[in-house]
Amino acid sequence: MSLTLTDVRLALDETIDPHSHASLSALVKDNQIEITGDQVRLRFNLGYHCPDQGAALRDCLIERLQSVGAVEVNVEIAIKVLSHAIRPAIDRVPNVKNIIAVASGKGGVGKSTTAVNLALALQAQGARVGLLDADIYGPSVPTLLGVDDKPASNGKTMEPLIGHGLQCNSIGFLISADSPAIWRGPMVTQALEQLLRQTDWVELDYLIVDMPPGTGDIALTLAQKVPVVAAVIVTTPQDIALLDARKGLRMFEKVEVPILGIIENMAVHICSNCGHGEHIFGEDGGKRMAAEFHTACLGSLPLAMSIRSQSDQGMPTVISDPHSQAAAIYKDIALQVAARVAQLPRDMSEKFGTIAVKRV
């Protein structure tokens, strides 16, 4: 029995990536499929790092191909993070493939703690990751990463500092801890542009941007100027937090930035004495919001004293307690984020190059 391209495409359609929840069909082009009688060979790039490097997905695909008549199957999966499309008329940041914004619409929901642990979880999977603290008025990344140095500079650019392996930068590295940034909006956006574009980032797969709270002029301007490929929204289940999280999500929709999903933080408190679980801030608010906006609820994190204390000590949960339940949730969220980024449209600008118009 000879297989057809339609048979192979059917198998690809029915093979679902458990992290992106999308079929493999979009990842595999026709020219990556070789069919000889009942033999099939596939070669494609998964586009993100995962613990088993795609082994489970390969086994599932082989089983699907055998179900449509393939006898001999060879599946080669590459793991390479690619650059994805950004809004037109915005310059990319050199040496940075993908910028992911982590926003909340309001303060006090654990956005910065989530951003730091997300970055560390992506790094733990094998990606090259950086972290930019975009909260000029209230920088917290220096404390969260336990870094208090000043970045080296040649007068034009800065070297990123390293915290737990992450390349990072923050206005908190440039001013003293108790000095307020008494700046108006234009100065704030200019400072962030400098932190973003005058830092010598080194070959990053992902740059996580911890966005400032709110949806006012500063946050909107940053969303418009930073070459973001996608955004993640952090909220608690509380109705008050959800009101502002909706505004944050709408802000990114207005500037045409894809939403990867919603992270529900402080979802449940487990009593350290008796083990009783209590939904202090309400239950399933993030899940309801995700359903409302037809996006994913990437995960629900507990309200845990350990997460708070580890963050205050500059030892985030993914680093200090990598085998804990909370760390496992952060890592699962990171897998989903990376997989969903891999599904976004590719950046094709390098393939087409630049067009120069010469007057004669």
Tens-place pLDDT, residues 233-254: 999 999 888 998 998 899 899 8
Do 47 and 163 fall within a single domain? no
Are residues 244 and 168 part of one domain? yes
SS3 305: helix
Instruction: Quote the pLDDT of residue 193.
Output: 86
pLDDT of residue 197: 93
Instruction: Please answer whether residues 198 and 132 qualify as being in contact, where contact means their C-beta atoms are separated by less than 8 angstroms.
Output: no
Angle, helices 55-67/5-13, rounded to nearest 10 degrees: 130
Task: Give pLDDT, residue 356.
Answer: 47
Tell me if 354 is assigned to some domain: no
In a domain, 10, yes or no: yes
The total domain count for the chain is 2
Q: Provide the pLDDT for residue 283.
A: 84
- In this predicted structure, the answer to whether residue 268 has a pLDDT above a threshold of 90 is no
66 shares its domain with 25: yes
- Listed residue (339, 331, 356) closest to 46, CA to CA: 339
> What's the whole-number mean pLDDT along residues 65-85?
93
Examine residue 349 and state whether it is found in any structural domain, yes or no: no
Domain that holds residue 74: 5-78
Contacts of 144-153 spanning 24+ positions with Cβ under 8 A: 144/112, 144/113, 144/116, 144/311, 144/314, 144/316, 145/116, 145/314, 145/316, 146/313, 146/314, 146/315, 147/173, 147/314, 148/173, 148/177, 149/173, 150/174, 151/199
What is the distance, to the nearest Å, from the Cα of residue 96 to the centroid of all Cα atoms in its chain?
13
Residue 269: which pLDDT band, with cuts at 50, 70 and 90? confident
pLDDT at site 222: 73
In Å, what is the CA distance from 117 to each residue of 102, 226, 270, 317, 339? 11, 22, 20, 7, 17
CB atoms within 10 A of CB 151: 19
Q: Please tell me what DSSP assigns to residue 71.
A: S
In the predicted structure, residue 51 carries a pLDDT above the cut 70? yes
Residues 132 and 46 grouped into a single domain: no
Q: What is the CATH number of the domain that holds 25?
A: 3.30.300.130
Residue 106 CB-density burial (10 A; 0-12 exposed, 13-18 middle, 19+ buried): buried
Is residue 297 assigned to a domain?
A: yes
The percentage of residues in the chain with a pLDDT greater than 90, rounded to a whole number, is 60
Residues 6+ apart with CB under 8 A from 317: 117, 306, 307, 310, 311, 324, 326, 327, 330
Same domain for 73 and 106: no
Q: What's the CA gap between 187 and 61, in Å, rounded? A: 52
Residues 72 and 112 in one domain: no
For residues 54 and 149, membership in a common domain is answered with no
Residues 337 and 255 occupy one common structural domain: yes
Model confidence pLDDT, tens digit, residues 139-161: 899 999 999 889 998 888 999 99
Convert 53-66 to b/e letters by CB count within 10 Å (16 or more is b): ebeebbebbbebbe
Judged by DSSP in three states, 6 sits in helix
Whether 152 and 208 map to the same domain: the answer is yes
Same domain, 238 and 283: yes
Each residue's pLDDT tens digit, 339-352: 999 999 998 775 55
Query: Is the pLDDT at 96 greater than 60, yes or no?
Result: yes
Question: What's the whole-number mean pLDDT along residues 282-288?
Answer: 87
**133 and 186: one domain?**
yes
**Does residue 61 lie in a domain region?**
yes
Residue 186 pLDDT class (50, 70, 90 cuts)? confident
* Per-residue model confidence as pLDDT tens digits over 302-354: 998 889 999 999 999 999 999 999 999 999 999 999 999 999 999 877 555 54
Provide the pLDDT confidence category of residue 355 given band limits of 50, 70 and 90.
Answer: very low
Task: Note the pLDDT of residue 184.
Answer: 67
Question: Are residues 273 and 322 both part of a single domain?
Answer: yes
Kindly state the average pLDDT of the residues 278-301: 90
Helix, coil or strand: residue 162: strand
Sequence-distant (≥ 6) Cβ neighbours of residue 306 within 8 angstroms:
317, 321, 324, 326
Give 254's contacts (C-beta < 8 A, 6+ positions apart): none
